[in-house]
Amino acid sequence: QVQLVESGGGLVQAGGSLRLSCAASGRPVSNYAMGWFRQAPGKEREYVAAINWSGSNTYYADSVKGRFTISRDDAKNTVYLQMSTLKPEDTAVYSCAITLASGNYYSAHPYGYWGQGTQVTVSS
């Protein structure tokens, strides 16, 4: 079993920045791709970003491209999401997930383990 715990969420003004962390425990996740998803109230869960197992490739939703950066530190068993130039529409609960799949990262289906999420609120 793998446990994922997100942290770093909070309240920030539009244009500000936050860095989310997702710490994994239970087993090393160096062989897993890792992704971030978000869900706003009353909306469907939305893919945000993903990084492959080696960290050599990163993928972003169009809505966050150029503003968010995903990275991983396998020595710490942790994935990060650096969020900049935040907008009120980025307000959501952000969750991380991991998968052994080698593609289709934008879909929730390949991900076998999920964290509980951390709230990000961007005020205008």
pLDDT tens for each residue of 37-90: 999 999 999 999 999 999 999 999 999 999 999 999 999 999 999 999 999 999
112-119: average pLDDT: 97
Q: List, in sequence order, every beta strand (DSSP E) within the chain.
A: 3-7, 10-13, 18-25, 33-39, 46-51, 58-60, 68-73, 78-83, 92-99, 113-114, 118-123
